[in-house]
Amino acid sequence: MNEILSVDDLVVEYNRDGTKVRAVAGVDLRLEKGEILGLVGESGCGKSTLGKAIVGILGAAEGEVIFDGLPVKKLTRGKRPEHFRNLQMVFQDPYGSLNPRRKIGAQVIDGLVIGGMHRSKALARAQELLATVGLPADALGRFPHQFSGGQRQRIAIARALAASASVLIADEPISALDTSSQAQVSNLLVNLVHELSVGMVFISHDLSIVRRISDRVAVMYLGKIVETGTVEQIWESPAHPYTKALIAAIPHADGRSSMPADLPGDVPNPMSPPSGCRFHPRCPLAMPECAVVEPEFVTLADNRQVACHLQKAGQEPVSLELIPRVPAS
């Protein structure tokens, strides 16, 4: 089986003024080795929370995450079990993910030393890894503040590789970088996925980059995944109205001056989500049953998954040609 990560019915809650809020309200996901799964959604959809729960930083209230055959548990005070050290995370902030007071070399070899490797052997290995991410060997003895944001992200990636990561959860890894660094780090990640058959969940709000590098994409809205499919399926024939709205809202720099489509309304408060389908108040295709019954997350004939009353399990996807691009004039 090529599947290395699976998420089933995952629920993550937090406490807000005494009420329990579901940041992730029941999510299913699959990831295969050597695959890049883009996880997209707008502010407040819960994608970062989902990423943290997959890795174990946050605990699950319901459901489970299976990594390489074993269920993931929340991090404790003790050592994280060896099996799970291959499940690593790349963080958004390149300035917070490295300890400012420790040398780069020491930080990169952390995973190896904890695993019992001798320090000198580990440093040799660190040198190899730094070369893999495009940094020179003398970086080992330097401190994080001597590097740019893009370089620090590469160091963080090297650190994850040192732990022999087989799955990387990348939480907005390039959002905080300048454009050239974005391209470099993105290319590095793509390379590693292909060379090492690492599986990667690429969490991002930047749909254009997700489109370029992902194999499959999962779209989140208000704590639930509304659709997953291949990049072509999602972009060319979205099956969920929110996906379609999201893609229609992307402005294109093609000089044709077409205005991106608007999605009126605001994301509801996660403390009190709408009844039935969470998207129904803003959905241009909402039917009466959408306000009452929450749609199930089903698999369609072309192997993608969607939660919408317009789409029926096992059937071919119904086309949603209803939100056209409006030329500006």
Among 25, 123, 147, 283, binds another protein (CB under 8 A): 147
Work out how close the CB of 11 gets to another protein at its nearest, in angstroms, rounded to a whole number.
22
Return the number of the residue (131 or 313) whose C-beta is nearest another protein.
Answer: 131
Strand, coil or helix: what is 19?
strand
Helix or strand (DSSP H, E) at 129: helix 119-132
* 292 CB neighbour count, 10 Å cutoff: 11
Minimum CB separation of residue 211 from another protein in Å reads 7
Does residue 128 bind another protein (CB under 8 A)? yes
Binding mask 57-96 for another protein (x = CB under 8 A): x-----------------x-xxxx-x--x-xxx-x-x--x
What is the footprint of another protein within residues 201-260 (CB under 8 A)?
Answer: 205-209, 211-213, 245-246, 249-260
Binders of another protein among residues 287 to 316 (CB under 8 A) are: none
Residue list 159-178, contact with another protein (CB under 8 A): 159, 163, 178
Q: Which residue, 260, 323, 268, is CA-closest to 291?
A: 268
The Cα 55–Cα 87 span in angstroms is 7
Q: What is the CA radius of gyration of the chain?
A: 21
Tokens of 13: 């809650």
The answer to whether residue 286 forms part of the interface with another protein (CB under 8 A) is: no
Q: For residue 107, state whether it binds another protein (rule: CB under 8 A).
A: yes
Structure tokens at 148: 């740019």
Residues 6+ apart with CB under 8 A from 94: 149, 150, 152, 153, 156, 176, 177
Binder of another protein out of 12, 53, 203, 263 (CB under 8 A): 263
